[in-house]
């Protein structure tokens, strides 16, 4: 499977994973086919997960400094969620 996922984009991998899930949910596959689809789905899920982890590491937020210039800073999803909660609390 690794060779099959090497040339996939994230969107293609996710679409294939969604098709596999739909096929499995139909319940029309035999046991052998179900196991093959499960294995392929797990590989695709792993591929998509790694892609998302890599993308998250690359995300940067531009922060305006006091002097007006922009400075890239690493994105911290936990910090972002806390900031949204705090902002929401201020609005109410």
CA 12 to chain centre: 13
Between residues 78 and 90, the one the model is more confident about? 78
* DSSP code string of 10-63: HHHHHHHHHHHHHHHHHT-S-HHHHHHHHHHHHHHHHHHHHHHHHHHHH-EEEE
Beta bridge partners of 72: 62
Cβ distance 85 to 43 under 8 Å? no
DSSP for residue 66: T
Q: 48 and 72: one domain?
A: no
pLDDT, mean of residues 63-72:
72
pTM, two decimals, is 0.62
Beta bridge partners of 73: 61
Identify the band that residue 6 occupies on the pLDDT scale cut at 50, 70 and 90: confident
Cβ distance 75 to 56 under 8 Å? yes
pLDDT of residue 61: 63
Per the structure, the complete domain to which residue 80 belongs is given by 60-91
Q: 73 and 47: one domain?
A: no
pLDDT of residue 22: 96
What's the rounded Cα separation, in Å, for the pair 67 and 49?
Answer: 39
The number of distinct structural domains making up the chain is 2
Residue-wise pLDDT tens digits, 9-67: 999 999 999 999 999 999 999 999 999 999 999 999 999 999 998 887 777 666 667 77
Q: 79 and 38: one domain?
A: no
pLDDT of residue 78: 73
Does residue 89 carry a pLDDT above 60? no
């Amino acid at each position: 499977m690794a060779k099959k996922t090497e040339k996939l984009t994230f969107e293609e991998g996710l679409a294939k994973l969604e098709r596999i899930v739909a096929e499995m949910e139909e319940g029309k596959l035999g046991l052998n086919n179900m196991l093959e689809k499960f294995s392929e789905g797990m590989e695709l899920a792993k591929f998509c997960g790694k892609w998302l982890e890599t993308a998250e590491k690359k995300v940067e937020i531009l922060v305006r400094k006091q002097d007006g210039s922009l400075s890239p800073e690493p994105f911290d999803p936990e910090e972002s969620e806390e900031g949204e909660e705090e902002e929401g609390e201020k609005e109410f």
